[in-house]
Amino acid sequence: MRLVDIKKDWKKNKSVYFLAIPIVIYFLIWHYAPIVGLLLGFEEYSPRGGITGSEWIGVKNFIDFFKSYYFGRLIKNTLILSIFSIVINFPAPIILALLLNELENKIFKKVIQTISYIPHFISTVVICGIVIDFLGYDGAFTSILLNMGLIKERQDLLALKSAFRPIFVLSGTWQGIGYGSIIYLAALSSVDQELYEAAKIDGAGRWRQTLHITLPSILPTIIIMFILTMGNLLNVSMEKIILLYRPVTYDVADVISSFVYRRGLQEGAYGYSTAVGIFNSIVNMALMFTTNAISAKYSETSLF
């Protein structure tokens, strides 16, 4: 762009540029400046020496992590929880949106939407407190399972290795299904209604309309959301894991993000935990780019 064009654009959109200044400053401070902290992953960092005064050790932190006893367990647990969450929690909002879209009673529809949205706006700490209370030794859900004969004796269900993963995933479904359906409901509202009228004339029922009109119409939205989900595959909720897991369930519950928290904040191994976080981010970015490339190759939808 020529200098003359830049000056003309400045004069024409001066107010827009001024409005953008706070946003630019926000991103510079909170998203770009912290990138310097990635150097900690290549240092034997000490708070006294700071970033510039700490010993430079190259990729030693990464090698130590790859050789660590916990490496295999962390990768396994992270992948299992992430894959289970995708399999159950990714299609759940889509299904809810399709069901809500079929409701003709507007009042009932709004009531269901409100009820399903509420858990998203509740703090994770409160959500985990509710889960702990309901699934504890004297919890309501524990009592129900005991009365139904599904468990033989009262016990803390969160202390069971076999129960932790289902509890984590299904509580995530409860927390996010309503809010996650909003974007799909918005996509459904843009579907051409004349297509449904034509399908009815041809004798297509609701199932065929959903299969051949609704789903293809919102498929681009589904693909974009799936790409974004794959970009966060290894970012299992640290707060929720830390609040729900117990030492007895570390074998099935400890994930990369919780490990970073323990090593970084509790044990003070800032350089090591930063290296683990960098590894996590690189894998997530690779997954997002790979998913995006596959989508761009086999469909017309992609992020970039």
| 10-14, 178-182, 193-197, 198-202: least confident range | 10-14
Task: Please report which confidence band the pLDDT of residue 146 belongs to, taking 50, 70 and 90 as the band edges.
Answer: confident
Higher per-residue pLDDT: 267 or 180? 180
Tokens standing for residue 246: 């117990």
pLDDT value at residue 97: 92
Q: What is the CATH number of the domain that holds 220?
A: 1.10.3720.10
Full domain range(s) for residue 237: 69-123+164-298
pLDDT band at 83 (very low <50, low <70, confident <90, very high): very high
- How many Å apart are CA 151 and CA 148, to the nearest integer? 8
Let me know if residue 12 belongs to a domain.
Answer: yes
Question: Whose structure tokens read 């939808």?
Answer: 301
Q: pLDDT-based confidence at 4, cuts 50/70/90?
A: low
Helix (H, G, I), strand (E, B) or coil at 243: helix
For residues 237 and 168, membership in a common domain is answered with yes
Predicted pLDDT at 299: 82
Residues comprising the chain, all counted: 304
Are 100 and 9 within one domain?
no
- Whole-angstrom distance, CA of residue 78 vs CA of residue 145: 28
SS3 assignment, position 56: strand
Indicate whether 18 and 78 sit together in one domain. Answer: no
CA-to-CA distance for 56 and 39, rounded, in angstroms?
9
pLDDT at 142: 85
Give the residue carrying structure tokens 């269901």: 112
Residues 6+ apart with CB under 8 A from 180: 89, 92, 93
Same domain, 29 and 74: no
Q: Does 138 fall in a domain?
A: no
- What is residue 190's predicted lDDT score, i.e. its pLDDT? 86
The answer on pLDDT for 6 being more than 80 is no
Which pLDDT does position 145 carry in this prediction?
A: 84
- Could you tell me if residue 109 is inside a domain? yes
Flag whether pLDDT at 278 surpasses 70.
yes
On whether both 93 and 30 belong to a single domain, the answer is no
This prediction has a pTM of: 0.83
Question: Mind listing the pLDDT tens digit for each residue in 90-133?
Answer: 999 999 999 998 888 889 989 998 999 999 998 889 999 999 99
Residues 73 and 213 placed together within one structural domain of the fold: yes
273 and 199 fall within a common domain: yes
pLDDT of residue 95: 93
Give the pLDDT confidence score for residue 49 in this predicted structure.
81
Asked if residues 57 and 43 have their Cβ atoms less than 8 Å apart, the reply is yes
Q: Do 211 and 286 fall into the same domain?
A: yes
Flag whether 264 is in a domain: yes
**The two structure tokens encoding residue 13:** 């959109």
Residue 205: inside a domain: yes
pLDDT tops 80 at residue 3? no
Backbone angles phi and psi of 144, in degrees to 5: -65, -45
What is the reported pLDDT for 177? 92
φ, ψ for residue 270, nearest 5 deg: -65, -45
pLDDT band (50, 70, 90) for residue 1: low
DSSP H helices, the chain, are 3-12, 14-27, 50-53, 60-67, 71-89, 91-102, 106-117, 124-135, 140-147, 161-188, 193-201, 206-209, 215-230, 238-244, 250-253, 256-261, 270-298
User: Does residue 293 fall inside a structural domain?
Assistant: yes
pLDDT band at 80 (very low <50, low <70, confident <90, very high): very high
Q: Which long-range contacts (CB under 8 A, 24 or more apart) does 184-193 make?
A: 184/93, 184/94, 184/97, 184/98, 184/218, 184/221, 184/222, 185/97, 185/100, 185/101, 187/217, 187/218, 187/221, 188/97, 188/98, 188/101, 188/214, 188/217, 188/218, 190/217, 191/217, 191/218, 192/217
Looking at the fold, whether 188 and 76 belong to one and the same domain comes out as yes
77 and 30 in a common domain: no
**Total domain count for the chain?**
2
The answer to the question of residue 135 being in a domain is no
Task: Give residue-wise pLDDT tens across range 33-69.
Answer: 888 888 888 988 888 888 888 888 888 989 998 998 8
Q: What pLDDT was estimated at residue 174?
A: 92
Contacts (Cβ under 8 Å, ≥6 apart) of 291:
226, 227, 230, 231
**Residue 21 is assigned to a structural domain of this protein:** yes
